[in-house]
């Protein structure tokens, strides 16, 4: 399997995070990439550097204003008196808001839904190269590869067309799906990250050409809180093309796999030309974000079942946070998907 990784993404190593009123170290650290690369190595998989994608590939999903904000926001922030080292918004628009703001302080709140995805000096280059990985993997599948993997960080599935959040900058999953649309009339997204893929849902919510299926922890007391409920089924032309499968945070592998199967059945009925898998590994029982209780064997079985769907598949890395178990989680899933035992590699 072709795998893509851009070392420039390590330049994004955010510091700030606000949790329960306390400033703590951000969970989406550059070290994640090293752990994920270790997971690939256990299957003798090596990552190649992706070419630069055209800006149009990003703007096929995101507004030009949002892309420009990511590109220039940190430099503009540094011009503020006593500016901090990262762009962290402190004002957010609410209600009827129609005028795009001029100041960087206001634009930060316009384009960022929370404080968990601070923008540093290297964040634009990192998210751009992360998106390049997603585009390269999609192009590999378009060119005939049965599957390809994009090691993307920062991740993307919480970002809408013009608002970032939840450790995410550009929505790499949506960018991959849109790239696949250049070759396929219908594309499906299966998101198995422990968090609801609210940004991907928002991007495709009123469209019938991209089916969105998300298996995630119930959101009444877990990020992203405001979306991810079963009654969210799409709007307009997209009615019926959004499926949320929320599960209790106590969910173990058997019930989680049953939900994955339910999602795969819906995808089978949709009959897409290709699949994008939002591969979050944070459903693991030892992930520090404490979302679910899925085992290594559960991930391996999910890999087998998703591969058995027989669709050309772009695997986009989403969550999965700092833990000694992260490399094993990736190796278990990819081993199941490829029919290989990582312990024998």
Burial bucket for residue 271 (CB in 10 Å: 0-12, 13-18, 19+): exposed
CB 122, CB 86: distance < 8 Å: no
CB 89, CB 73: distance < 8 Å: no
**Options 12, 111, 157, 158, the catalytic residue:** 158
**Separation CA 62–CA 67 (nearest Å):** 7
Q: Which two tokens stand for residue 78?
A: 């540094």
**Separation CA 239–CA 190 (nearest Å):** 17
Please state, in angstroms and as integers, the Cα–Cα distance from residue 310 to each residue in 3, 270, 305, 306, following that order. 19, 14, 9, 8
Alpha helices, DSSP H only, in the chain? 31-41, 55-59, 64-77, 104-111, 123-142, 172-180, 198-204, 253-270, 296-308, 326-338
| Residue where the block lists tokens 């962290």 | 88
CB 162, CB 180: distance < 8 Å: no
Determine whether 62 is an active site residue.
Answer: no
**Separation CA 209–CA 174 (nearest Å):** 12
Alpha helices, DSSP H only, in 181-272? 198-204, 253-270
CB 337, CB 147: distance < 8 Å: yes
* Residues acting as catalytic residues: 158
């Amino acid at each position: 399997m072709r795998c893509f990784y851009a070392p420039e993404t390590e330049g994004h190593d955010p510091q700030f995070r606000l949790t329960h009123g306390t400033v703590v170290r951000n969970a989406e650290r550059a070290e994640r990439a090293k752990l994920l690369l270790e997971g690939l190595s256990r299957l003798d998989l090596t990552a190649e550097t992706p070419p630069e994608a055209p800006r149009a590939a990003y703007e096929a999903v995101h507004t030009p204003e949002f892309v420009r904000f990511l590109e220039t926001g940190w430099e503009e922030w540094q011009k503020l008196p006593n500016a901090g080292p990262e762009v962290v918004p402190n004002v957010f628009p609410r209600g009827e808001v129609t005028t795009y703001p001029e100041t960087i302080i206001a634009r930060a709140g316009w384009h960022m839904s929370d404080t968990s995805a601070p923008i540093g000096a290297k964040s634009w280059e990192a998210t751009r190269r992360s998106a390049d990985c997603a585009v390269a993997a999609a192009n590999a599948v378009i060119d005939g590869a049965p599957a390809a993997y994009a090691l993307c960080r920062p991740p993307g599935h919480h970002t809408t067309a013009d608002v970032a959040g939840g450790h995410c900058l550009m929505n790499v999953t949506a960018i991959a799906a849109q790239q696949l649309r250049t070759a396929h009339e219908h594309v499906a997204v299966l998101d198995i990250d422990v968090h609801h893929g609210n940004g991907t849902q928002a991007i495709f919510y009123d469209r019938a050409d991209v089916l969105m299926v998300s298996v995630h922890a119930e959101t009444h007391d877990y990020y992203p809180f405001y979306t991810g409920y079963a009654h969210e089924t799409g709007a307009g032309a997209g009615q019926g093309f959004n499926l949320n499968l929320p599960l209790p945070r106590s969910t173990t592998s058997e019930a989680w796999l049953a939900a994955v199967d339910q999602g795969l059945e819906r995808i089978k009925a949709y009959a897409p030309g290709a699949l994008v898998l939002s591969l979050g590994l944070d459903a693991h029982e030892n992930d520090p974000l404490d979302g679910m209780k899925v085992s290594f064997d559960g991930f391996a079985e999910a890999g087998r079942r998703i591969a058995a769907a027989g669709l050309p598949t772009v695997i986009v890395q989403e969550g999965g946070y700092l833990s000694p178990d992260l490399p094993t989680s990736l190796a278990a899933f990819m081993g199941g998907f490829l029919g290989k035992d990582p312990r024998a590699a």
